[in-house]
Each structure stands twice: as structure tokens, then as C-alpha cells.
Structure 1
Amino acid sequence: MDDLSPSDLKVILHSKRANLYYLEYCRVLQKDGRVLYLTEASKENLYFNIPIANTTVILLGNGTSITQAAMRMLAQAGVLVGFCGGGGTPLYMGNEIEWFTPQNEYRPTEYLQGWMGFWFDDDKRLAAAKTFQNARIDFLKHVWQKDRDLKTEGFNFDDKAIQSALDTFFTRTEKATNSQELLLTEAQLTKVLYKYAANATQNEGFKRQHESSRTVDIGKANDFLNHGNYLAYGLAACTLWVLGIPHGFAVMHGKTRRGALVFDIADLIKDALVLPWAFICAKENATEQEFRQQILQVFTDHKAMDFMFEQVKKVALQSLTEQQIDAIENNQLGEQL
């Protein structure tokens, strides 16, 4: 079989790709035109293929290395690579993940231009933040009402506690006059969701800890929340890279944080997907790998990355006419195919 050319590796749109990898204690290399990771067994070395044309993000954890040739192929396929701490979760505010985005001078410009068209206006930036906040609740409603497994575990979107918290959330979001008020409102809602999830999974006494112990269920839920959040950050970073929008142009998490827009976009899916499954998997005493497999599967089942693309493009192109948006969409689709 002939080796694939770089152009052949881009036939799958990023929003439709299925794979996100976390690797540890292995070496990533290029061999015979493929990207592999090598692990050391007791008697032999084991090679495993990475389907780079269908991969969005690779997280490299403890004990990993990667060759220049492998990085070249990953860049050609448009795969983001990040170095992180153990379990995919760097120390909260202790160190940060460093994303290596593929070198490509032909990123689209329309979305960045649209983003810059409103970003320097405080009122318009606040309106964009409110749009994202409302979208995250729409996604939460969609997922929790549709997912049978979540219903079986006791996650009911129509529960009085959830609806009461949402009433307060919508009222305060509408009245917010700056991003700090939005962040406070978001934190209050998330606190309610944590309590609801803890009660649904009999995780009594849960307290959110970003640097948690793994010796008890409370710690395991925190570990899974951290782990799942960083997987969501990977999808968000990939979405922004594909659309050509730098990570520093946040609308809510603060203009002084270099990667803050990644957090804004990841928030679209974290409450709906990461939060409940972190608690469910902790209750089931799942391993880190089992949780990761579960969360990546629900990302795919509920088309999390599609939703991210949809919302970011909607905000970026909000000032354009439908004809202009259609022209941009058709042009971008043609370039990626």
C-alpha cells in the first residue's frame, strides 16, 4: 500500500473526528509512514498505531517522549499535541498545559476578523459571553433530557432544584454588567450541580478540590472532574485552532489569561457531560482509563465538538448576513475537503 500524502490525511473534518488520546510511559515515533506509540513490556516492545487522520488531540503525560518525525506527521494531519501532568490533569494553577498547534499559514481568516469586529467593544464582548452561557444550558438540557444512562443514574433536568437554580442563573446572567458577575453566577450554578450530582450518586460530603487525594471516592470524583475538564480543553483548543481564533481573545475568563478562550469554549460542554460522568464513574470505582474511555465516548455520542464549532462560528459571524455566512461555510468546506 502506498504511503499517504499530507493532503490525504485531511479528508476528515475536525468536527467529525473521533479520537482524543492520553498517553503515558511510552515513546511516540514515526515508522513506515505511520505514527505509533511504543511501550516496553517485560519481554518485548509493543507498538500501537495512532490513526492520525481521525484524531483531534494527543495529550502526553508522565514518562513520554516524541520524535521530530512523528511531530511532523501529526502537524501534517492537523493534530494538536499537548504536554501535561499525570492523568491528563496538570496541577491547578501550578502549571499549565502547553498546546503545540500544527504549523499552517492557511488557517481561515473570516472567523478571526468577525471575532475582532466585536471583541474590543466591552458591551458586545459581554453579549457574546452571555450567548455562550445560555448555550451551555441549552446543551445541558439537550443532553440530560436525551441520555437514558444519565436518567437511570438519577440526573433529571426537570428536577425542582435544577430548575430553581436555572431561574436564578438566567435572571442574573441577563442583568450582569461585566464578566466578573457572569463568572460568579456561573460558579453558583456549578456549585448547585455539584451538590445535585453528589446526592444522585450518594457521594456524601463532596467538596470540590482541584488538587485532590485518590484514596477515597471524594478524591476520585475530583480527579475525574479535573481529568475530564482537560479533555474538554483539548477539544476547545482544537476548535479554535481550526477556526483560526487565538486563545487569548476570551469573552469571560479574563483578558490577562493567555489561554482563557479555551476555558470559555470548554465550559459549553463541561456541566452537561464531564460533571455527571465524573460522579457516576467515581461511584462505580472506575479506573482512570475506564473514566477516560467513558467520557470520550459521550463526547462522541453527543457530538460535543460539533456543538463547540457551531457556537463559536455563530458568535464570530453574528454581524454577517446569511448570504455571507453561507459563502464562508462553502469556502471552508471546500478547502478542508
Structure 2
Amino acid sequence: MEQLTDLKAILHSKRANIYYLEKCRVMQKDGRVLYLTEANSQRSAENQYWNIPIANTTCLLLGTGTSITQAAMRMLASAGVLVGFSGGGGTPLLMATEIEWLVPQSEYRPTEYLQGWMQFWFDDDKRLQAAKQFQYQRIEFLKRIWGKDRDLKGEGFDCESSAIQSALQNCSNKIHAADRVVRLLQAEAELTKRLYRFAANTTGYGDFTREREAVDSANGFLNHGNYLAYGLAATTLWVLGIPHGFAVMHGKTRRGALVFDIADLIKDAIVLPWAFICAKEKATEQEFRQQCLQAFTDHKALDFMFNQVKQVALKMDWDEQNSTGFISDKSAPPESPKGHQA
């Protein structure tokens, strides 16, 4: 039987899997984590077991009708997999009203990132610079993804579009001029609204209003995709040892606010366009989820999140940023001690 110590260490930034499960039981069997689906009399008289490759998994969402055993949680924790309980379709996350996860307990996570974060976090001006850095990189990531993804280009999502170039340039100018976080939030909201309008027009979706409680397919896919991004962001922060409450933009009074800051790095570039494309194609939630997860992997979204958080924590030159406001992209140390299954 495979022992817990036999798990091969895979850095979280290189992991490929996010799972959403419903109407099943998650358990440990023969040294593996499995989920059990009830027998369907029309298909099979036997229950079905399916393996979860925990060493290559970042987070696990348990939806309606699920249960999990203590032994399975112990193995998931040993592999550093975050677990969250959610409603149907992956939203909303039910652990709390904020974005919080059941996180593994480990005393071996690095401390230098939290120490670096604390060196600037209590200074309002430096925290504003960090928030600007994330917003600049959010724009750059969108430009890069929409500039090279052939599938997105084929659907009309091209960063060379005059409407997109205008929106991004206008947002970049407002980021540069912002003297308070509230100005950054206004610039972010304006850009997102313009991207929603562009996506709706490009896909022929029609009138669109972003409402998290709405039942139309685009809003539903946006909710679902955003929670997947929150899972990646929560994983990034847990591995680097930075508590979710030390936000730079979304408010210091919400315990999970930093998760929102980090998830925003990739949401507009990946989740937003695919939500509208899949809505146009009348895709199922599972098809949309698989498309999002594949895009996260293809574009190394988790790698990007790790690099940005590391750079802000350790590499930020508060006195000598270059003219664009970007941090120079230097190599960062690994996110976990060598040889340890973080």
C-alpha cells in the first residue's frame, strides 16, 4: 500500500487539477483518495470508485450531496490540497461569507514572504504601490493571453481591437494617476464594465448586467469561473504563508480580501471571455469548468499568480520603480522548502 511519505513532491505552481464533486462520498482506500458514486440501476449494479490524484491537485470543491471521511481529509492535508464546501455548480462557497477554505496545517511553509509583505503593508503609500503593481500586471496578462490565444482570437477577443486598446490604455492612465485605493477600485470597475460590454457585443449575447444572483448563463459562468480563480489564489497565499486578510486593494476589514486581489490577476483574461463564449454556445457548467481549467493550465495562471505575489513580497523596489510602474521580473525562490510536500 502506498504510504503518505511516498507522495512525489509537485510544486503547487505546477499542479494541474481542480476538482468539483457532487452527489458522492470522498474517502481513503488502499492509500489513495477516491470518490464513490452511488450505483445507477440503469447503468450498473455496482458503485463506482474514481481516483483523485492528490499530489497534482491544488484544491477540491465539494458541492451538493457530498460527504468526506476523516481519513481522506488527512491524506488531502498531507498533499497540501485545499478543500472548500460549495453550493451546486461550485458557487457560492459555503465555508463562510468571505472566501475562506479548509487549509492544511503545516509548520514548514516559508516565512520570508509574510515578513516581506509585512514590511510594506502597514505603510499606506507602499500598499497603494503594491495594489498598482497588481493592476498593471492584470492588464499585461490580459494583453498577453488575448494576443496569443488562437481560440479567443477566433471568437473575436483580440487585444489589437481598438475598443480593447482604448479601454486598457485608459485604465492604465488612471492606475498611474491614482492617489488612493478607492481610485484604483473605480478604474478597475470601469475597465471590467467595458470588458463585459465588449464581450456581450462580440458574442452577440445581447444586453448584459453583472449580477451575482442572476440566473442567466453568462452570470452563472462568471460566478463559477471566479470561484475557480479564488481557489488558485487561496492556494497561492497558503503555500507562501501570507494570511488572506492582508489585502492591498479590496479592503482591510474582510478576512478573505487578499484572495480577491490575487484572483483579479487572471479573471478578466480567462474567466470573462470564456463565460460569454460558453454562454453563446449553450455549454453546460461542466463543459465551461473544463474549458476554464484547461485555459488556466495552458496559460500557466497559477505560475503567474505565484510570481506576482513573490515579487511584491520580496522584490519590490519601493524607491526605484521603472517608468512603467512594473517590478523587474527576477527569478524568485521556490515556494516551498526543497523536498517537502507543501
TM-score, L = length of structure 1: 0.92
Structure 1, 36-45 or 261-270: larger mean CA deviation: 36-45
After superposing on structure 2, the runs of 4+ consecutive aligned residues of structure 1 that deviate more than 4 Å are: 330-333
Q: How does 1:237-252 map to 2 (within 5 A)?
A: 237-252=234-249
User: What's the CA shift string for 1:217-265, capped at 9, x where partnerless?
Assistant: xx10110000000000000000001111000000000000100000000
**Distance across 2 between alignment mates of 1:317 and 1:137:** 22
Map of 1:329 onto structure 2: 333
Q: How does 1:168-317 map to 2 (within 5 A)?
A: 168-213=170-215, 219-317=216-314
What is the DSSP-based 3-state SS (H/G/I as helix, E as strand, rest coil) of the residue aligned with 1:266? helix
**Distance across 1 between alignment mates of 2:222 and 2:35:** 27
Change beyond 3 A, Cα 1:169–1:331:
closer
Change beyond 3 A, Cα 1:330–1:26:
closer
Map of 1:5 onto structure 2: 4
Map of 1:22 onto structure 2: 20
Q: How does 1:26-45 map to 2 (within 5 A)?
A: 26-42=24-40, 43-45=45-47
What is the DSSP-based 3-state SS (H/G/I as helix, E as strand, rest coil) of the residue aligned with 2:67? strand
For 1:297, the aligned partner's letter is Q
Map of 1:216 onto structure 2: none
- Matched-pair contact (CA < 8 Å) for 2:100–2:256: no
**Distance across 1 between alignment mates of 2:253 and 2:239:** 23
Structure 1, 37-46 or 298-307: larger mean CA deviation: 37-46
**Distance across 2 between alignment mates of 1:62 and 1:39:** 13
For 2:211, the aligned partner's letter is Q
**Distance across 2 between alignment mates of 1:96 and 1:310:** 25
Change beyond 3 A, Cα 1:57–1:91:
closer
Change beyond 3 A, Cα 1:40–1:97:
farther
What is the DSSP-based 3-state SS (H/G/I as helix, E as strand, rest coil) of the residue aligned with 1:158? coil
- Matched-pair contact (CA < 8 Å) for 1:91–1:211: no
Q: Percent identity?
A: 71
For 2:78, the aligned partner's letter is Q
Map of 2:321 onto structure 1: none
- Per the TM alignment, residue 97 of structure 1 is displaced from its structure 2 partner at its CA by 4.8
Map of 2:102 onto structure 1: 100
Map of 2:83 onto structure 1: 81
TM-score, L = length of structure 2: 0.91
- Per the TM alignment, residue 86 of structure 1 is displaced from its structure 2 partner at its CA by 1.2
- How many residue pairs were aligned? 325
Structure with the bigger RCO (C-alpha within 8 Å, sep 6+) is 2
User: What's the CA shift string for 1:31-82, capped at 9, x where partnerless?
Assistant: 1110001111223211100000110000111111110000000000110001
- Per the TM alignment, residue 9 of structure 1 is displaced from its structure 2 partner at its CA by 2.1
- Per the TM alignment, residue 160 of structure 1 is displaced from its structure 2 partner at its CA by 1.2
Map of 2:326 onto structure 1: none
